[in-house]
Amino acid sequence: MREIAIDRSPFFAIEVLSILRRRGLVLLAGDFGHEEHQRGRLYPFLGGNARFQNLPARISAASRAPLLPCFVVRDERSGYRLEIAEPIFPDERGEDGLMERLILVFEQYVRRFPEQWLCIHRYWSDGA
């Protein structure tokens, strides 16, 4: 296991594609953000329009690897459990279709566990 810093490697996507093409696994935060986050595309999210980077979809489409949404949630015993949603496979709907399906899963988890989502970025947009 090794970390590839998205904001420090100009070859981040190439390194990730190489790992996936060797049938490796890549973990990527679906709600990640940094200075690039503000340039994300608008998608419907929780009743508004929110900006998300489409990097997960671009990598999935390029590698043909499915997106596997995973969430660590706190349980009723004050422990944690890993929940894995159904895989989202690339298809003819392209990158936008992948992102729309990924964001729907993300929205379902935020609605189920609103107190557990740490929202540290400005997601909703007035369209600007």
For the cut 80, the answer to whether the pLDDT of residue 125 exceeds it is no
Per-residue tokens: 69: 């949404």
Mean of per-residue pLDDT scores for the chain: 82
> Of the candidates 45, 74, 40, 71, which has an alpha carbon nearest to the alpha carbon of residue 57?
40
The pTM assigned to this predicted structure is 0.78
* Pair 38, 32: CB distance under 8 Å: no
Q: How many Cα atoms occupy the beta-carbon half-sphere of 116 within 13 Å?
A: 18
What is the per-residue pLDDT across 55-89, written as a single tens digit (0 to 9) for each?
A: 889 889 988 989 999 999 998 888 999 999 999 99
Q: What are the residues whose beta carbons fall under 8 Å from the beta carbon of 55, sequence distance 6 or more?
A: 13, 28
